[in-house]
Structures are given as structure tokens and as C-alpha cells.
Amino acid sequence: MFFKEKRFNNWGRNIHIIPKRLSPKNYNDLKKIINKKSFIVHGNQRSYGDVCSNKDLVVSMANFNQIKYFDAKKGIIEVESGTLLSDLLPIIIKKGWFIPVTPGTKYVSIGGMIANNVHGKNIHKNRISHYVKEIKLMGLNKKILKCSRKRNKKAFNLTIGGFGLTGIILTVTLQLKKICSSYLDQKITGFNTYEEFYSVSKNVGNYEYSVSWIDNFSKYKFQGINFLAKHSNIKKNNLSSINSKQIGLISLLVSKLIVNSYFFSRIINFIYRNYKKYFYHKLCNYNEIFYPQDYFIDWNKIYGKKGFFEIQFIIPENKFKKILIEISTFFKKTKNFSPFIVVKRFNEKGKYLNYSGAGYSISFDFKINNNFKIVNFFFNLLIKKYCLKVNFSKDLITNKSNAFNYPEFKLFKKEILLLNMKKKINSLFSKRLEI
């Protein structure tokens, strides 16, 4: 185990602290960490917000990256929590399996996926929690607790989407998804009105994945593209069609123009909309469908030194148009804009602070600049006004009052204390919401 002090950056590059840092190598090292007064555990520092940030001590699980068990016939796998999805995918795909729910990047740890109960583009069963069979957790008593839906059920439910506050996740056992190849069939449909959007987002046929992109600068009231995909029956494998690389100087400069310039971002959105609408591959490698942003492994640099933040929340369908018009009006009046807006139809029931609800999940990315306070104030008021549920896994700006939009927030706080006595495991996020 090494001990080191250096600047800590989350993926959003919006947190600037210098905590003590530990990288344990075995269970004995972890037991020593539990003796510390205050700490939080992280996987691969891919958090947009402050869920894995702590001013005192940040603990990396990078050394815990082994596959403990893999039944290639049943698709059941047990992996250590520090295992990266990018390392796991080539192994399971070769055996005809895929991760059943995946976030928008493969450079996340399995433990991080569980702690945040990540969602994906899935039309049905859209959170990783549906596929978790067992979790091995080291509690503050230094004992290893086996948790499942039948055994230590409360600890199991609290840990999935518990933001790392219940203990140290050691291993995770998952049920994988059977596939024929690494390729997917894709269908892209454009929409020009809210009514067309509702139609294409609901009429998905036998496709398994769906997501929509909105052109924030369109002259129409509501224009964008819907993406549908399903695993192909064509037995074809190519596990490295997208090789992630460092962002080059030209790409960096162009990307910075997109996030900094209203005019340039508008042009790029127009080009992207028309290109994707008329020119796209019907058969795509899984990287192209699920991880297009991983083409550049350090794309977060495009937002500059102050970084960026993402705000994501669920809007009920009967309020969707009204709220989007309100947001659009705010953008026009203040000349603020989000270069990337993504929408997904959502219908998940969840406990505690798990990102859940019925309607449309929508996300906005913003560069942190002089307008940060204005954007922050507007969205906090909007969330409070319409009682919207925020995705706390990515959150940076939501005030604690908006946490009560989750009916079980008080219950979550109460039951977390049973596992996390004296709040020894904590983060900037948990302190911000007073968990």
C-alpha cells in the first residue's frame, strides 16, 4: 500500500482538493483503512460529481481487479470491485456474453457501477441492480458480509446505489446477457416535433436499446434523432474496432470551440443531426453503440481547467413539453447552452436514492464558467418547482432540500447509519446532502 498526496480530480474536473490517497493491495490493507477517521472509496475516478470525493482520504480499489469465478455456460461471473468494464468485456464477449446494463463509458469499475446503480440505454430493466446476484462487503467491523436478495437483504439493497457509504465493496457476482456477436443492429429516426418524439420513443418494436439526442439549437421547437439498437444474430466479432487514444491538439481545439461558442456549437449540432439522419451504419460494433465518447480517453479536457458539470433528472411525460419550453426559454434569454442533450424514456421503480421514476430522463452538460451560478440557481429552482428526481451519481449542484423529492430519503439516511456508524465513510456528496 502506498501513501501519496496529490491533487484529486474527478472526471468532471470540477473538484479541486488535495486529500491523502491510499492504494491498498490486500484485505489486511483494507482493514487498516477502516481504522481511519474519514474516507471514501473509488474505482476509476469517472464520477462527474462529488460522490467519490473526500477532503481527508480517498482510497483506490485499482489493485482489486481479478475475476474470481466465471461460469461460461450460465453467464454467471464474480469479479473484484476494482475490475474495469473495459478489461472485462473482451473476456466475456469471447464466451458469448455481454454486460446486461452499461453506462456511456467502459472505463468504469464494477464496484463503481454497483455503488451508483448505473443505468443504460436498455428499454426494459434499465439498471444494473436487476442483474446483481451477490455482493461481498467489508463493513466497519472489518468482517466480510455476503449480501443478496435472500441474505443480508437490507445491506444488499442499501449498497446498490448506496454511493459507497455502506462499506467497502470487495466482489460482485453478476448475471450476464447472452449474445451471438459483438455487433448490434442499429436504426436511426429523426423527429421534428414533440409528438414525433413521443411516437419514436415508444414504438421501439423488438429493439433492446433506445436513446434520443436533441438539437438544442434547432429552428424547430423540438428536433433531434432517436437511436435504436439490438444485438445482432450475425456471428461476427471484432473486439477492438474503437481504440481509445489521447485527444489530439486539433480535436481538442475544435471541441473547445463547440463547448465555448454558441455559434460554433449550433453549426456542429446541425451537421451532426443531418449526418446521423442520412448516413449511418446499420450494423455496428458494440463500441460504436455504447461507448462512442471513449474514442478519446480524455475527452473531459475539452471543458478546460474549471471542468464541467452534468445535470440529469426525470420529467413525467405530462410535464415534459412544458418543462422543456421553460428550459429553452431560459437558454435563449441568458445565452446559456448545453452542447449535448440526451433524452431517454424511463420507467423504473427503485428504493432509497436510486435514480428511478416514470417519464423521460434528460441530461445537460455545461462548462463551468462565469454563468455557473446562474445555471445552478435556475436548475435548482426548476427541480424544486416540479419535484423532479435528480441522478445523484452525476450530481454536483443540487441542494439538500431537493433530495426530499425522493420519498425514501429520510429512510435512506436512517438505515445507512446502521452500517456506517458515526458516518466514518463519507464524501463531499454525503456531507452536501447531510446523509
Number of domain units in the chain: 2
Q: How far is CA 151 from CA 159, 197, 232, 346, 386, in A?
A: 13, 43, 37, 29, 38
Nearest residue to 394 (alpha-carbon basis) of 102, 127, 10, 8:
10
Nearby residues of 296 by Cβ (< 8 Å), 6 or more positions away: 244, 245, 246, 247, 251
Q: Which of 130, 148, 179 is the last residue of a domain?
A: 179
pLDDT for the residue numbered 252? 53
Residues 175 and 196 grouped into a single domain: no
Nearby residues of 90 by Cβ (< 8 Å), 6 or more positions away: 239, 240
pLDDT for the residue numbered 211? 95
Domain assignment present for 126:
yes
pLDDT for the residue numbered 241? 47
Residues 174 and 190 grouped into a single domain: no
pLDDT for the residue numbered 421? 80
Residues 283 and 342 grouped into a single domain: yes
Weakly modelled stretches of the chain, pLDDT under 70: 1-8, 217-220, 236-281
pLDDT for the residue numbered 332? 85
pLDDT for the residue numbered 256? 57
pLDDT for the residue numbered 84? 97
pLDDT for the residue numbered 257? 56
Q: Which of 179, 194, 214 is the last residue of a domain?
A: 179
CATH code at position 101:
3.30.465.10
CATH code at position 330:
3.40.462
Domain assignment present for 5:
no
Look up the domain containing 393 and give its range.
183-403
Residues 271 and 150 grouped into a single domain: no
Measured between alpha carbons, how far is 372 from 117 in angstroms, rounded to an integer? 28
pLDDT for the residue numbered 234? 82
Residues 227 and 306 grouped into a single domain: yes
Burial class (CB in 10 A: 0-12, 13-18, 19+), 150: exposed
Cβ(263)–Cβ(257) under 8 Å?
A: no
pLDDT for the residue numbered 4? 52
Handedness of CA 290, 294, 299, 300 (dihedral sign): positive
Residues 249 and 132 grouped into a single domain: no
Q: Which of 149, 179, 209 is the last residue of a domain?
A: 179
